[in-house]
Structure 1
């Protein structure tokens, strides 16, 4: 009988896939990072418990292109500074990716809020434009001019916070208790340049980052970096406390209730 591809994989095939994941080479990305101070109340409002606001109300937008073999990737993130149990890190609100393969592991394994979108980084001499686009709206755009090289930072570890959950089959809450994930990224930078420019936040009902206005632009850079990531589940969290925030994960809030749009015919 010809092999049935939906059939079970052999132990050898599973082991080979595991080994391939453990020996990935460094994959370098070219990206723009914008860091700004925003409204403290707005930043606090987007943090589900047990996350708490950091000392400074910082927002970070990352817009990168990644030369993955065979399928170049655009990857973005908009995150706010947060603290959990004394650990300082970042809570991403939206992570646009340019193809489905990049979504699967992040959403299902780590609980990352990844969505399909357009991610562009363009450079023409010293002029740089980078954007995160969904539903035809460039809801984050960085425009500027490269002003010179910056000292390279030492390799560093950065912490992101995610909530991993599954909406309940009956549309009421979750199938099991949500889990708070700590994801540590070990990052190396091989090029870093300063940008003189600005950050434009455009109104979008799907990605309302315009609610986190740029009060003071702290840093704007373009560079090349590589990183790995390791995640761990640190604690179960209150389903009741998280439920009011889960619309952050979906374009249509009805998705979480598994209900038809208003006016639709059953």
Structure 2
């Protein structure tokens, strides 16, 4: 019988897959990073407990082209500065990706809020344009020009906060108490340039980052970076406390509260 690809994998095949994934070479990306100050009350409003606002009400947009072997990937995120206990980090609200393959691991393993979208990074000489778009709306756009090269920073360790959960089968709450995940990345930079430009936030009912208005632009750069990624489940969190934020994960807020079809259809 020919191999049935949906059939069970052998132990040797599973072990080989794990070994291959644990020995990946550095994967470099070219990306634009914009950081700005926004309204402190808005940052506080989007953070589910037990996360707390960081000292400064910062928002960070990452917009990158990733040099994955075999096909390029567009990857982005919009996150707010947050802390959990003594750990400072970022809480992403949306993470557009251009390929389904990039969604599954992050969403199912770490709880990342990844969604299919359009990610653009374009450079012509010194002029740079980068954007995040979904449903035909470029809800974040960065426009600028390179005005100087910056010193390459030392390798840095950064943390993102995610909530890993599954909505309940009966449409009421969660299947189990959600898990707060600390995802740490060791980031290396090989080139970094400063941009003079601006950040445009456009209204979108699906990705309402326009609420995180730009009060003061803090950082605008384009660079070449690589990083690894490790996640750690740090604690179970209150399902009741997280439920009011469930709509952050879905385009249609009602789908998270829908019960199963009547009659099992």
TM over 0.5: yes
- What is the SS of the residue equivalent to 2:228? strand
Distance in 1 of aligned mates of 2:33 and 2:151: 16
Partner residue, 1:84: 84
Distance in 2 of aligned mates of 1:99 and 1:71: 10
Partner residue, 1:95: 95
Distance in 2 of aligned mates of 1:65 and 1:21: 21
- What is the SS of the residue equivalent to 1:151? coil
**1:257 positional shift:** 1.7
**1:192 positional shift:** 0.1
Task: List gaps (5 residues or longer) in structure 1.
Answer: 261-265
Contact 2:170–2:259 (8 Å) recurs in 1: no
CA deviations on 1:92-127 (whole Å, 9 max, x unpaired) are 000000010000000000000000000000000000
Indicate whether 1:49 and 2:58 are aligned.
no
Distance in 1 of aligned mates of 2:88 and 2:143: 29
Contact 2:111–2:162 (8 Å) recurs in 1: yes
What is the TM-score of this pair, normalised by structure 1? 0.97
Partner residue, 1:233: 233
What is the TM-score of this pair, normalised by structure 2? 0.97
Distance in 2 of aligned mates of 1:5 and 1:35: 45
Indicate whether 1:209 and 2:206 are aligned.
no
Contact 2:166–2:174 (8 Å) recurs in 1: yes
- Equivalent positions of 1:234-249 (< 5 A) are 234-249=234-249
Distance in 1 of aligned mates of 2:258 and 2:128: 42
**1:58 positional shift:** 0.3
Q: CA RMSD in A?
A: 1.0
Contact 2:160–2:182 (8 Å) recurs in 1: yes
- What is the SS of the residue equivalent to 1:207? coil
Distance in 2 of aligned mates of 1:123 and 1:258: 44
Distance in 2 of aligned mates of 1:204 and 1:243: 22
**1:258 positional shift:** 2.7
| Structure 1, 113-122 or 4-13: larger mean CA deviation | 4-13
Contact 2:163–2:178 (8 Å) recurs in 1: yes
Partner residue, 2:17: 17
Task: List gaps (5 residues or longer) in structure 2.
Answer: none
Distance in 1 of aligned mates of 2:255 and 2:149: 45
Structure 1's consecutive aligned runs of 4 or more residues displaced over 4 angstroms after TM superposition are none
**1:259 positional shift:** 5.5
